[in-house]
Structure 1
């Protein structure tokens, strides 16, 4: 050793550095917290959209099944028809019935789409408020 006193960091500088590190840590923790909220809200919106799409798909499949069943019923009636008048009567009844079914199905699907959009918007709005 050459007898020189070692360099000491002044107390004020250490305190300033400590405060800076604490502030940086708090800022980082805030950033991470916001990132977690964003991920959670995105997941919530995606999950809501997925469930709504799944429900709409199930409805559409149910409608398709009902429509095909009605077509098979018509086919069975047509095969059993005794004359042209009976064929025309069955076709007429089928068309009236299917038009009513299609109207109901379209209304229900429209309502389902509106409900899904409202849920998605609500989830997105909640996510935005919590940020």
Structure 2
């Protein structure tokens, strides 16, 4: 096998079409999930007035993180579909994994602070 043939990376049209359809279905499913999660979180917030503000902050941040992370994953999948060769696939995946590790570390730190603040507020004696 020549280097030219090995370096050329082409996804068959049928496979690309199927992957794009799956990606679109995943996007639609995710949008439905986010809507359901927001509805559920809204219901929980209404039932527990004493921690409403803290729960709202946690919910908003969790939903924002989920949206950002899933959107990033879907964008990554799309970029992989458009890759020209295997080396580009490997580069894109490496960049994605490194970026996700940074993002998840930041998100965990922020969420820890938000949850801690909410817990402190919930534990305060009522005036």
TM-score (norm 1): 0.57
In the alignment, structure 1 segments of 5+ residues that lack a partner are 1-45
Q: Which has the larger radius of gyration?
A: 1
Which structure 2 residues correspond to residues 1-131 of structure 1 after superposition, within 5 A?
46-122=48-124, 124=125, 127=126
The alignment covers a number of residue pairs equal to: 80
- The Cα of 1:50 is off from its aligned counterpart by 1.8
> How many Å apart are 1:84 and its aligned residue?
0.7
Instruction: Report the secondary structure of 1:82's partner residue.
Output: coil
Query: Alpha-carbon deviation of 1:51?
Result: 1.7
TM-score (structure 2 length as normaliser) = 0.59
Q: Tell me how far apart the structure 1 counterparts of residues 50 and 111 of structure 2 sit (CA, whole Å).
A: 17
Uncovered stretches (5+) of structure 2, i.e. residues with no partner? 1-47
